Amino acid sequence: MQRTLTLPALASLAALLFLGTGARAADCPAFLNHDFQKLHSSQSVNLCTAFAGRPLLIVNTASHCGFTPQFKGLEALHRKYGERGLVVVGFPSDDFKQESKDQAETADICYINYGVTFTMLAPSAVTGGKANPVFRELNRRAGEPSWNFNKYLVSGDGRTVQHFDSRVAPDAAKLGSAIEQLL
């Protein structure tokens, strides 16, 4: 038997779906509720709207760093845990003087050289008084990155932040264990 929905029923369903999404976004921590331009794109993303309730692995990246090959491992984490809810977000930054001045070059390094498919944002500051709002809070809670490719594992409710420095590779057992516990 085929059922059809009336216009009022469709409107009610749409309102419920909208409220459900809004409730999740409303529960999102304020430090994530910001719009960021995507890397080499005119599109932007609001971390709350896009990823509310999902655990995040936030990484400060640089395209000309000795740790840049970690992009492959971060992509592997994205593929391994993405279906279970983990979101990997890269924040390129020139705070340590190793990011390209050209977003097109950064995009090529990420997307072409390393096959990155996870969310990459336009370059921004991650340390000091000019740090973007996400990193201002991460720095307050867990400490500033001392170099590129610091990893911050943030629980879905934003209450828990774990910090892993640059030397902790994406395939490190302690990072994998922390992700598993969060999922």
Architecture (CATH level 2) of domain 7-182? 3-Layer(aba) Sandwich (3.40)
Enumerate the β-bridge partners of residue 153: 57, 162
In the prediction, which pLDDT does 3 show? 45
In the prediction, which pLDDT does 27 show? 78
Q: How many Å apart are CA 7 and CA 15, to the nearest integer?
A: 12
The answer to whether 47 touches 33, Cβ cutoff 8 Å, is: yes
User: Global pTM?
Assistant: 0.86
Q: How many Å apart are CA 116 and CA 110, to the nearest integer?
A: 5
Dihedral of the CA atoms 62, 91, 177, 155 (nearest 10)?
A: 170
Instruction: Dump pLDDT digits (tens) for 122-154.
Output: 999 999 999 999 999 999 999 999 999 999 999
Residue 65 catalytic? yes
8 CB contacts (<8 Å, ≥6 apart)?
none
Among the listed residues 28, 48, 65, 110, the single catalytic one is: 65
Counting Cα atoms < 13 Å in the Cβ hemisphere of 78 gives 19
pLDDT along the chain (183 residues), means of 10: 43 37 65 96 96 96 98 98 97 98 97 98 98 97 97 95 98 98 94
**What are the extents of the domains in the chain?**
7-182
Note the helical H segments in the chain.
7-26, 47-51, 70-81, 103-107, 133-142, 173-182
Listing DSSP states for 67-99 in one string gives TTTHHHHHHHHHHHHGGGT-EEEEEE--TTS-S
